[in-house]
Structure 1
Amino acid sequence: MSEAAAPEISDRIWTVPNILSFLRLVLVPVFLVLIITGEDLWALIVLVFSSLTDYLDGVIARRFQQITRLGQLLDPAADRLFIFATFIGLAFRDVVPWWLVAVIVGRDAVLLVLGIVLANFGYGPLPVHHLGKVATFCLFYALPILMIGQAFPAIAWFTAPIGWAFALWGAFLYWWAGVIYIVETRRVIAIPRLLGGSRSDTLDS
């Protein structure tokens, strides 16, 4: 039974996917300012543009063998920063409560601590759990839906409940995945590490 060849991961920096990820990172503070100042339509346009480039950089990286170590860091970083910027900007305007921001940021702070613990025991980051991917998916859907309601108040009665449903469900799954990562970290550090063993999968959701 033959195994599929793993994609080659390079150390290149200037690839099209990486440039798109850099662009998304640059747009994060622009996006935050637009939300805080009430420029909701422009903020929505920036968010949609960021979502499209997020999709494109993944497609290009896989199709043209441009998967890089830097890209594996930049892509999830840009995703998280856009999530944080949206929730912080909407909380600043009292559209969403600050406790929701604390829930989202707190979970990633826990993952940061887990990463440090694993590194101290000689392990890399844990493999991505599917619940983490589903949670991020829900939050990514919640953000543009909530922003549509702000940009077009006439339809907020329809978009707000849907956006809130995705946001709350995403936050719940975000922490559920976080608990799984905590349990897995405890299990891993309790097992004597095999010489030469490593865990190279990235924890990006």
Structure 2
Amino acid sequence: MGERLKMVSLVLLGLVLTSLGLKFLSIHELTFGGTAGLATVLTFMSSWSWGVLFFLVNLPFFWMSLQKLGKWFTISSFMSIIGISLIRDGLDVLPFFSVPIWLATVLAGLCIGFGVTLVLNNGSSLGGIHILALYLDQKWKLNRGVTIFVCDLSIIIFAAFLVGWGNALLSVFTIFVASTIIGRYKKSPIKVTEQEQEEFSEARSRSIKEA
């Protein structure tokens, strides 16, 4: 119970950090990649809030998550999507300080990078590209940071036609910072040494003989 509470708390912290990073970007009409960036682009063409659009964009990915990544992970990711949608929309109704555009790109990259890392390393995700990245990491050991960076770059190129190439290039820097952090601080799987394997085999053999 204590471990689960710790994981939930870290996921919540990750959602807050990620929401702050996205808010820094929106101040200067910068965008991000993945489904977060796609939702941002859609806000330029719609009167709907970012949170609503982000939730809707992520719905198709939950089928993949349920089929390949398990029920608990899917439920956790679904709750994270709801959580970040509410937190991010909540920041729009609160007073927020403005920073220079260059500082906004750096702060956004750091906040999103560490925020997403906390979410991913504690059994959840932010849907969309992150679910795809986790699936590819699990199946083919592809680095999550690289997968996210490539997908994000594609979204940025599309967004550039709406926000301008100058803002798009600054957004790429933010994506690079965030993706580097995500790839570097990926939680390593537990490795079982040969000695541990032998000890396990011996213990198993003894239990069989005793039975």
Same fold (TM > 0.5): no
- Structure with bigger helix share is 2
Of structures 1 and 2, the one scoring higher in RCO (CA 8 A, sep 6+) is: 2
Q: TM bucket by the smaller chain? A: under 0.3
